[in-house]
């Protein structure tokens, strides 16, 4: 194998690893966003009192305050999900392009 092919294989493996990491992070963020939305839905249904963990302490919060905090968290999660999806799309594109090059190189080596 030549040096260029070795470098392409290493890049392919690195891209694969990055895609796996992004996929796991997206899954975690999506779950977090979903849980935050469920909490917001429950707050809308209830009249209080409301509590929130701060470190290891349970602190009472007003409905409006807790709703604002959770809405901000959900918005941040949504923004991060969007950014990760864009990054994932770019990496997938590079990954597919490199995979095709490697497949072509493998075909040439068999001939």
Strands 50-54 and 57-61: antiparallel
14-46: per-residue pLDDT in tens? Answer: 999 999 999 999 999 999 999 999 999 999 998
User: Could you tell me the residue ranges of all domains in the chain?
Assistant: 15-110
> Do 93 and 18 form a contact (C-beta atoms < 8 A)?
no
The pLDDT of residue 78 is above 80? yes
Positive or negative, the CA dihedral 75, 79, 82, 87 is negative
pTM above the 0.75 mark? yes
Q: What are phi and psi of 58, to 5 degrees?
A: -90, 120
Question: Mean pLDDT in the chain?
Answer: 93
CATH no. for 15-110: 1.10.287.370
Residue 10 corresponds to which tokens in the numbers above?
Answer: 């290493």
């Amino acid at each position: 194998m030549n040096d260029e092919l070795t470098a392409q294989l290493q890049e392919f493996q690195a891209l694969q690893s990055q895609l796996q990491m992004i996929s796991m992070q997206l899954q975690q963020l999506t779950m977090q966003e979903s849980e935050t939305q469920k909490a917001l839905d429950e707050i809308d249904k209830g009249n209080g009192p409301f509590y929130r963990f701060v470190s290891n302490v349970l602190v009472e919060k007003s409905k409006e305050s807790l709703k604002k905090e959770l809405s901000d968290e959900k918005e941040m999660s949504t923004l991060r999900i969007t950014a990760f999806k864009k990054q994932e799309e770019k990496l997938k594109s590079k990954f597919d392009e490199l995979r095709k090059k490697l497949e072509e190189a493998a075909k040439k080596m068999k001939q």
